[in-house]
Structure 1
Amino acid sequence: MKSAIFILFCCLFSGLSLSKHVKPPATMAPAGEFFSSSQTVMTTEPTTPTTVIPTSEPTTLTTTGETTTLTSPVSETSHAPSTINATTPHAETTINATTAPTPHAETTATGTPPQPQPTPPGPVTAGDYRLLKNDTTVCVMAHVALAIRLETPKASGAFKVQPNKTHAVGECRQSRSNLTLVFPEGFITFLFNKSTEDSIGYVDTLTFRLNYPLSPASSRFSASNNSLRVLSAKLGHSYSCRSDSFYMGNGLYLDVKDDRVQAFNFSKSNEFGVTDQCAADQPNYSVAIGVGVTLLVLILVVVVVYLLGRRRRADGYQAL
């Protein structure tokens, strides 16, 4: 009986001694399953790198052995930027740009280049033009300075034909001749007619077409007048005038300066015939005659007054 009590006392004493040296932890958890919402997950087995996709949804961590879902959001201190998605276990990443860079748009000027302004009024240059018949005989010859003019209440301008940029084309017949002067901006046509009854040659039709900004509103003009009888001269003679202007309608004029023109009956030398001047250039003797008559009347008046005065002086004396 005493031996049993002694053995029990020894066991209790040994248990109390061990309890003073070893204190087991308060809680225990299986290895590999303990984690905290604010710490990195640790695994006891080697695994492939864990891919972290920071989003507002619960984050899924995938390992080779199992899948663990975190219900708490990923900490804002994560080192992975929000625009990087891991695609392979070797930590190779692909960057998906959320906004594509906008290329710089090239700016192209859409303004209309300024158009050339109409040439100012002034003298024009005369050119020499010829048409040949049978390659040897001249059928039309002209020495003219030409300008197309626009005169309206809303716009005005002038285009001068440049002889060095103009050439003559046309056709010659027995009683009709066509002289067309062609230049880069258009053309001008003179249609000559022959009157055997009056024995004269003249122009009965004028036509032109022009692509040039005579006005701000338009740069294309055309006109034709087929009811003319101008530039007339006797057959075999040439017409000459210092200045002519022909109205073509719609405010358009064809100005012809320093002109000398012939269309029919040239001499064998293919030169201009005798000159028939226009009415404006013909000498006007009426003014001279009027001035002479006036001077003669004044002289007669002076003589009459003198004679009358002398007679009155003679009557004033009495004989002794």
Structure 2
Amino acid sequence: MRLRHVVVGLFGACLVVLGCVQAVTLEVKDGNSTCIKAELSASMSITYNSSSSTETAVVPLPDSASVDAGSSSCGTDRNLPWLVAVFGSGHALGLSFSTNGSLYSVANLTLQYNLSDTSVFPGSNSSVVVTVVTASVGIWAAVNTTYRCVSPTMVAVGGQSVTFSDMRLEAYMQGNELSPAESVCIADQSITTAPPATTSTTSAPTTAHPSPTPPGTPERGTYYVYNSNGTVCLLAQVGLQLNVSYLSQSQNKTVQEMINLAPNLNASGSCEASSATLVLTQAESIALSFTFSLNSTSNKYHLSGITLRANFSDMSAPFVASNTSLSYLWSTLGHSYMCNAEQTLAVERDFSLNTFKLQIQPFGVTTHQFATAEECQMDQDEMLIPIIVGAALAGLVLIVLIAYLIGRKRSHAGYQTI
């Protein structure tokens, strides 16, 4: 049984890491008009309990997934537009959308999975259908443009995760095809020098401002929070990068900037029985706070809130962004959380936070050192790459050897001894 779980895990990792996940096209229509269209690949990493241990299933969104006409809609004055894809035995992935007139965004991501489906969750000791929701998605675009993000984008939802890739998506559509004008995600902007698309080919020429150079990987800092008795109660090591949109005084327009935080930030905070706070400050310009919550029933903790207050010289007004309903960095009490891979934590429409080489423990610190780490799914996938590649090469060598032996045997069969 354990071997089968390992094989399932390796196969799922192959789907995610090597790009084997099928691309799916999904459309929501109102009569003959399309209001939402998505072309994307997605995989879900779901942790569940079996009779002997905790298992993780990596579930790709299959090309057989279809739009649930009963749950999907183009929206009304009172109801948001919804795209709900159903697949397998009771599984679903849903996206709702909202708009302020100039931008549209994914307002909620919903993941539903049926633990009684033994083909996906072998050995599961539960038969319930679980639904988890998050509002921390970080997908937005200008109205009448297509949101494009080729790079993998992981969204944490209720202790599980959904990773999108090769995504082209548009809501509040004016026609039946995706708009040729694109709003490109931050991850793709950092790896391409192509100029951003505009919403019209007849726009008047404007003075071009050079695109800011990506700042590279930030240095890693070490931060401590102390109890009243002087012992460490929260320990963190991480490189931090802000991604903010604000009104620039010099350019008189909204600009998007990526800013690496220096590793010498002042750290403070507090530790309570079921909550902990880490506050990082830099002079009068930055105050970044993290709130962690502990569920005493499940002994699981997670990052539940991020608040940023910034006041840079080019800002027309101080920048404030806050979200207290986040669902990131899940781990178990008595363990630290670790993720060496870059993670993007979407906070609000105008602010997301990138973390690098992160290890953090907000509860149960006993020796001023991290406890055993629980690694994020992205790190686990990266470790599986050489295993998968090695297994594939070994299989190829074995096939060639068998073919050679069969061919040699057949060639000898054509001769007779004199």
Question: Please, what TM-score do these two structures have when normalized by structure 1?
Answer: 0.54
**2:311 alignment partner, SS class:** strand
- Structure-1 residue corresponding to 2:374: 276
Shift of residue 130 of structure 1?
0.9
1:154-182 residue CA offsets vs partner (Å, 9 max, x unmatched): 73322222233x21222211011111111
Structure 2 counterparts to residues 212-251 of structure 1, below 5 A: 212=312, 218=316, 220-242=318-340, 243-251=342-350
Q: Cα–Cα, structure 1 residues 300 and 144, in superposed 2: closer, same or farther, change >3 Å?
A: same
Partner of 1:196: 296
Q: CA deviation at 1:248?
A: 2.2
Secondary structure of residue in 2 paired with 1:129: strand
Alignment of 1:8-157 (within 5 A): 120-150=214-244, 155-157=255-257
**Alignment gaps of 5+ in structure 1:** 1-116
Report the aligned-residue RMSD. Answer: 2.8
- Aligned counterparts of 2:320 and 2:212: Cα–Cα separation in 1: 16
Aligned to 1:263: 362
The amino acid that maps onto 2:407 is: V
Distance in structure 2 (CA, Å) of the matches to 1:287 and 1:318 = 45
Q: Distance in 1 between matches of 2:254 and 2:397?
A: 50
Of 259, 264, 269, the match for 1:170: 269
Name the structure 2 match of 1:24: none
Distance 1:259 1:231 in 2: 10
| Paired residue secondary structure (1:121) | coil
- 1:21 counterpart residue number: none
Q: Aligned pair in 2 of structure 1 residues 308, 180: CA closer, same or farther (>3 Å)? A: same
Partner of 2:73: none
Which letter does structure 2 place at the counterpart of 1:288? G
Q: Secondary structure at the match of 1:162?
A: coil
How many aligned residue pairs are there? Answer: 196
Aligned CA distance change for structure 1 residues 307 and 155 (closer, same or farther; 3 Å): farther
- For the 8 Å contact 2:235–2:365, the answer to whether it is kept is no
TM-score if structure 2 supplies the norm length?
0.42
My pick for the range that moved more, 287-296 or 150-159, is 150-159
Gaps of 5+ in 2: 1-210, 247-252
Q: Does 1:160 align with 2:260?
A: yes
Q: Per residue, is there more strand in 1 or in 2?
A: 2
Matched with 1:62 is none
Larger Rg: 1
- For residue 257 of structure 1, report the CA deviation from its aligned partner: 1.2
Structure 1 223/308 Cα, relative in aligned 2: closer, same or farther at 3 Å? farther
Deviations 1:207-261 (A, max 9, x none): 2122226xx7756433223333222222121112222211223253201112210
Distance 1:204 1:286, change over 3 A: farther
Identity %: 25
SS at match of 2:377: coil
- 1:245 partner amino acid: T
- SS of corresponding position for 1:163: coil
